Structure formats: C-alpha cells, structure tokens
Homo-oligomer: A and B are copies of this chain.
C-alpha cells in the first residue's frame, strides 16, 4: 500500500464521492453537511467524525484526489516489462480511477483550474507533477532502450494525458466502451500509429495488472 492510501477508507471515498456529486448538482453553498450525511446514509455525527466541516471535505476533494490518483496508478505499474506495456498499465489504471471516482474527478478538476490560488493547490500540483513524471519516466526508459522512437517525452506524455483527461468531457458510463477499454484503444493507436503498413504494437507481454472491482 503506497503512502497516504491508508486514510482513504471506503467510507471516506464514499463521503467524498457523494459530496462531490452534491456540489456539482446543487453548488457548494447550497449543499449542507446534513445533505451529505443523508446521501451517504450515515449520521451527521459519523460524518463529523471523518471531517470537521464542509470546507474540509471540499479541500480533500480538490487536493487529496491528486494524491490518491498518483498512489493508485503507481501501484498498478508492473516492475518489469516493456515501456509499451507499462504505459498501458498507467493508462488503464488512470481510466479505472477515473471511472470509479468520476464525480470526484470532475468536481476536483473544475475546482483545480477555476481557483489556482486556493489553499492546497501547491501540494496538489506537486502530486499532479509526480503523476506526470511517472509517465514521462516510463516513456524515457522506452526511448533509452530503443523500444520507442526518438520522440519528445514531454509532448508524448502530454498527448497521453490529454486523451485521459479529456475523456470525462464526453464519456458516459454504461454507454458503449468502458473507460478502461477506451484507454486501451488510445494506447494502441498512440503506440502503433494510425498509418497502415506499420508493425503491429507489441502487446503480447503480460497485461497490466488490472485494478479489481471492475468487470
């Protein structure tokens, strides 16, 4: 278990998810601690046991989930294997996280970009940077080993993150492909290229360890 994950109990994740859903639907101001407790099916006392106030919940949504995302994704990447395979694990783990905590992700992303001076933004950016550097590290290894072309690692990383980040704008859970399937499709297109007559991407290595809890 990576550092920091021990606090992320299922209860806390449930509270954050429900609160994010309510903030998104009704706005922060019009959402009360009572509403959040009711949505979780727990008492206000139990809710206050986990969070001192609504602001603390909001901060955790805007800050904590970047840390959560990093930890969740980092632990899904196999220690061995091709860069293609390991980046695939990065992408499918990100998609799994996104799919599981969709509301939190959306609220969190909106809050992140709309209020760059908010408390905790520095820490959030630091976790976001670690997440991005994790991906660039995998790409740089693949380039060094000759597996990947001599592409600019920063741009390649941004391309991959753009695809993952933009997904929440159009993806509808329960319709068509799952987020993980879309991430796999993106991976195959980005690694194999769209042009015909190229080597098929080498995807025969051990597939990324999937996060449990998804079919």
B contact residues around A114 at 8 Å (CB): 110
Contact indicator per residue, chain A 65-101, by CB within 8 Å of chain B (1) or not (0): 0000000000000000000100000000000000000
CA distance A185 to B190 in the complex (A): 12
* Contact A162–B155 (Cβ < 8 Å): no
Contact of A193 among B113, B166, B185, B190 (CB under 8 A): B190
Contact indicator per residue, chain A 177-204, by CB within 8 Å of chain B (1) or not (0): 0000010011001111111111101100
B contact residues around A158 at 8 Å (CB): 163, 166, 170
CA distance A146 to B195 in the complex (A): 9
Interface extent on A, as a size class? 35 or more
- With an 8 A cutoff between CB atoms, is A117 at the interface? no
B contact residues around A147 at 8 Å (CB): 195-196
* Contact A155–B194 (Cβ < 8 Å): no
CA distance A165 to B146 in the complex (A): 31
Q: Taking CB as reference atom, which chain B residue is nearest A132?
A: B170
Contact indicator per residue, chain A 127-162, by CB within 8 Å of chain B (1) or not (0): 000000000000100100011110110011011011
- With an 8 A cutoff between CB atoms, is A169 at the interface? yes
* Contact B186–A193 (Cβ < 8 Å): no
Supposing A194-B148, A194-B151 touch, asked if A163 and B169 sit within 8 A by C-beta, the answer is no
Contact of A201 among B139, B163, B195, B201 (CB under 8 A): B195
* Contact A161–B155 (Cβ < 8 Å): no
CA distance A161 to B186 in the complex (A): 12
Other A-B pairs beyond A147-B196, A161-B166, A166-B166, 10, CB < 8 Å: A148-B196, A149-B198, A155-B185, A159-B163, A159-B186, A162-B162, A162-B166, A165-B169, A191-B193, A198-B198
User: Which residues in A have some Cβ–Cβ distance to B below 8 Å?
Assistant: 84, 110, 113-114, 139, 142, 146-149, 151-152, 155-156, 158-159, 161-163, 165-167, 169-170, 182, 185-186, 189-199, 201-202
- Top 5 A-B pairs, shortest CB-CB distance: A193-B193, A162-B166, A198-B198, A162-B163, A162-B162
